[in-house]
Structure 1
């Protein structure tokens, strides 16, 4: 009995030592991760504060109603803002139809074989491809029409929207797949039991339940597209344009391109104008993210 008690006591002490060591390691990791988070937030706060200080003075009514100018005090974002809205409105139907349609096919219709798995892996890998690559692809296919003049769209709104849609499609497809996959099987089976066919089940049961995840992924992907500059530079979107587009086949100026143009100019005053443009772009992106959160919460409660 004495030996058994001694062994039990030794085991308890060993367990307590290991547990104490693990708790200490856990606390150290916790504070290390917290420190990393705070460092990132401090740098982000410093950048935002610096941008607000430099750009707040230029956020006047004339800044929103004037075109770009070689004089800093007269420079505005009217053309860039309207062009960005044209780009966003054109991207939305292209990317959401192709992205969600692809996700539905891969999750609901495609057979579970090696080819389908290969396609899914390729789509996931495309989400990590640099945006410059998509810019080169858009330049070759859409702007130059692969050497066929009849197919060339030049540096129009449609060419830029198609290029940006290629950029964000992998993200939308993956997010939509995850949202569709998260719908419980019993929900589908209940629809089939009530006499619904496959398409009716997808349209009336699966998609409504998957809408929060689909919308969240789509809006976040669209936010990324609106902030990208490299693809627009490669396809030749002008940095200065003193006119507004009247159709998707017209040239346009985008807000990231205007900011890029102001930031590279040597005059110090243009750096402040660029900061004002950054503030406007940040507000647009924050509004889109807020809409994504609102829609996610709304549909999550409903379904």
Structure 2
């Protein structure tokens, strides 16, 4: 009895294995055929396909280009960043000896690295030398510049530096205290605002890409209505009908992503020369950085994902409405 069971089981194993292998081969063959046929139909309509690729590429390239600009501005800010420095403008009637004593006392604080005293006469002489206004300076009845203390604090958070500035400004000998890195803090705040704005713009434009691709696939579905009805009449499943349409969305998305990467690279190439020339004029080592190879490939993959997403939404919404009567 056990031999018969084993023999019958062994006899059924081979047909079942062949059936699964055949289904796998058919599934793979249909995927490759659907991909090739969809690509052929996309290429057979070059004008409409190029316009769709261009629309998708511009929608992807715009936020990407703005993000690249923000990245370069951030890199430039890091190169320009220097240790924080406080400029203390002393009272106009402050004697030189007391100003030097104040500089010495401040340098002994734990939260201050060093201080430098700048005499008002030396400051006026430097101003005249750099501005070339020597004749005007000779006509002044007295030196209008106050004594200056340059204070380099210990590296700390922006809040701690702001508190130190307020503390020093409250000293009776100090007329005004300025934090030289305030512009960097403002730049960082503007960068944060810019990133949020670019992220919002990217979400809106990518949503528009999905809608454009969805409308394109909807038109493809309507153009294949008779073909879809016939396939369903002979027993074709929704998955069988869906595959060519998904591949159509994939090709549109890949092409749009590639166009977006090309537009960003072209914009970076056109701007690199004047930006580098301007940087050299200011004796800076800054160079304009564009998208690398990995980022460009990621942009193309993003376009492919958006194409699949738009095609899937359109197919899920419109395919069920097409049924043979």
Compare the two structures and name the one with the higher helix fraction: 1
Compare the two structures and name the one with the higher strand fraction: 2
- Pairwise same-fold verdict (TM > 0.5): no
TM-score (norm 2): 0.27
